[in-house]
């Protein structure tokens, strides 16, 4: 399959002579193996020329190429649910960039494949940048890699209806018992505070191995949700109002050691060096191997409608994790 490689852009394939959504599905079926090979080589592939114009079109091409779906667990950001396993990429404000991350890296089972499609292309900005996690890992300092390999990373969350996500929304639960049952099964420590709000902590590996290619990758939300990644004024305001222990999200190394500002800057620089992007066109399809590649979102102006589906679930235990995932207790009042 012809593939265009340009500096600063993801691998790109042009679907030629495809004029209907039925032809698009047939084209994807005929080229599925070739696209998979390109994904394993390049981590993400942008496909141009498909007539994907609405949610139903997207559902059809998703089912053609990615019939096995992955549920969206431990929700953390607002999304619109269009039904049939199709979501908005995010509903966060247009001016807010979304930094690089692997989808659901903090869950025990996560999507192996992501599929994005552009239904409305923004007039300015709004690309979905991607970064090859093999390159990110290779460019990080040996000391930082060794530490992550040895102890993994911790995710600490504090749930609120007003500032972040409520525990009811995050866990699709209506009772504390349901949350605790999920936590016990998925290695998430649940700590109910005296005022009734919930804190959770979980230990996850930050370096895993792709189950098909065998490539070792940097795979985590360590930088994405760290307190130093917040705008400084926002961080100070949240700490003043909530206390450092009740930030909506925070991360640390698995032994509890804080991530320094300098280490955060080093990780972000590694992502930046590996990042590629292509401006969205209506009908454009972006396939992302969620283990080999991160993704994010550039700020934008104007209307933008990007839909996403998640599929091909992968268990972290099938990825030769360098640290065994576990629930790590935090201070607080147990129920």
- How many structural domains does the chain have? 2
Q: Residue 30's domain spans which residues?
A: 11-91+109-123+280-314
The pLDDT assigned to 333 comes to: 41
Co-location of 256 and 286 in the same domain: no
pLDDT at site 329: 66
Asked whether the beta carbons of 99 and 265 are under 8 A apart, the reply is: no
Blockwise average pLDDT, block size 10, the chain, 335 residues? 93 96 96 97 97 96 95 87 90 91 97 98 97 98 98 95 86 96 97 92 98 98 94 84 88 96 97 98 97 97 96 97 86 42
First to last CA, the chain: 57
Q: Which of 267, 300, 327 represents a domain boundary (last residue)?
A: 267
Q: What's the confidence (pLDDT) of residue 151?
A: 97
Interatomic CA distance for residues 199 and 221, integer angstroms? 18
pLDDT at 1 (0 to 100) = 78
**In a domain? residue 165:** yes
In this structure, is residue 22 part of a structural domain? yes
Helix/strand/coil percentages in the chain, nearest 5: 30, 25, 45
- Given CA atoms 155, 161, 162, 165 in this order, what sign does their dihedral have? positive
Write down the pLDDT at residue 125. Answer: 97
Q: Flag whether 99 is in a domain.
A: no
**In terms of domains, do 255 and 288 share one?**
no
- Residue 317: count of CB within 10 angstroms of its CB: 13
pLDDT (0 to 100) of residue 236? 82
pLDDT for 335 equals 37
């Amino acid at each position: 399959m012809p593939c265009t490689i340009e500096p600063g852009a993801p691998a790109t394939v042009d679907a030629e002579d495809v004029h209907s959504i039925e032809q698009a599905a047939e084209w994807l079926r005929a080229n599925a193996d070739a696209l998979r090979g390109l994904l394993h080589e390049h981590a993400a592939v942008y496909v141009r020329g498909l007539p994907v114009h609405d949610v139903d079109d997207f559902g059809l091409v998703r089912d053609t190429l990615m019939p096995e779906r992955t549920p969206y667990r431990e929700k953390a950001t607002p999304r619109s649910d269009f039904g049939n396993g199709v979501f908005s990429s995010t509903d966060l404000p247009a001016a807010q960039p979304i930094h690089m991350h692997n989808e659901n890296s903090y869950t025990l089972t996560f999507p192996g494949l992501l599929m994005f499609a552009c239904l409305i292309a923004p007039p300015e900005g709004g690309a979905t940048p991607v970064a090859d996690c093999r390159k990110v890992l290779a460019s990080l300092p040996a000391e930082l890699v060794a530490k992550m390999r040895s102890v993994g990373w911790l995710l600490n969350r504090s749930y609120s209806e007003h500032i972040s996500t409520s525990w009811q929304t995050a866990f699709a639960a209506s009772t504390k018992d349901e949350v605790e049952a999920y936590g016990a099964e998925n290695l998430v420590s649940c700590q109910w505070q005296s005022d009734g709000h919930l804190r959770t902590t979980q230990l996850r590996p930050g370096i895993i191995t792709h189950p098909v290619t065998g490539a070792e990758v940097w795979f985590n939300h360590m930088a994405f949700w760290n307190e130093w990644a917040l705008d400084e004024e926002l961080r100070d305001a949240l700490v003043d109002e909530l206390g450092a222990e009740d930030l909506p999200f925070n991360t640390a190394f698995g032994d509890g050691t804080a991530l320094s500002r300098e280490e955060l800057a080093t990780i972000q620089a590694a992502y930046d060096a590996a990042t590629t992007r292509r401006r969205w066109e209506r009908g454009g399809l972006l396939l992302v191997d969620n283990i080999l590649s991160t993704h994010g979102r550039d700020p934008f102006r104007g209307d933008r409608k990007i839909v996403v589906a998640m599929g091909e679930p992968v268990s972290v235990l099938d990825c030769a994790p360098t640290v065994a995932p576990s629930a790590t207790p935090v201070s607080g009042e147990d129920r």
